């Protein structure tokens, strides 16, 4: 999991200050969760970041993650 976190950082998906966010996504990837739901629009639920995470995941042999905001998964 730490290798995947470091791969996100090395690829520039997230900066070093966002290491905890990279760890969160790496843990979800390794655990093969169905979806990640987050309010973190700056570092996680962000189109460019999602593409970056999934690009690294593909290169490292992991499946792509589905990442959504709570508003996208809750019926009102």
Q: What is the pTM of this model?
A: 0.94
Torsion of CA 29, 30, 31, 33, to 10 degrees: 20
Domains in the chain, number: 1
* pLDDT at residue 5, rounded to an integer: 98
2-35 residue pLDDT tens = 999 999 999 999 999 999 999 999 999 999 999 9
Write the pLDDT tens digit of every residue in 30-56. Answer: 999 999 999 999 999 999 999 999 999
Question: b/e for 30-47, b at 16 or more Cβ within 10 A?
Answer: eeeeeebbbeeeebbbee
Q: Which residue has the tokens 């593409």?
A: 51
Q: Could you tell me the residue range of the domain that residue 48 belongs to? A: 2-73
Instruction: Give the CA radius of gyration of the chain.
Output: 12
């Amino acid at each position: 999991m730490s290798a995947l976190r470091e791969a996100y950082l090395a690829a520039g998906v997230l900066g070093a200050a966002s290491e905890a966010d990279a760890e969160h996504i790496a843990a979800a990837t390794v655990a093969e969760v169905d979806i990640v739901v987050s309010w973190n629009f700056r570092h996680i639920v962000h189109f460019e970041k999602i593409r970056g995470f999934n690009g690294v995941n593909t290169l490292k042999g992991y499946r792509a993650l589905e990442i959504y905001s709570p508003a996208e998964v809750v019926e009102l």
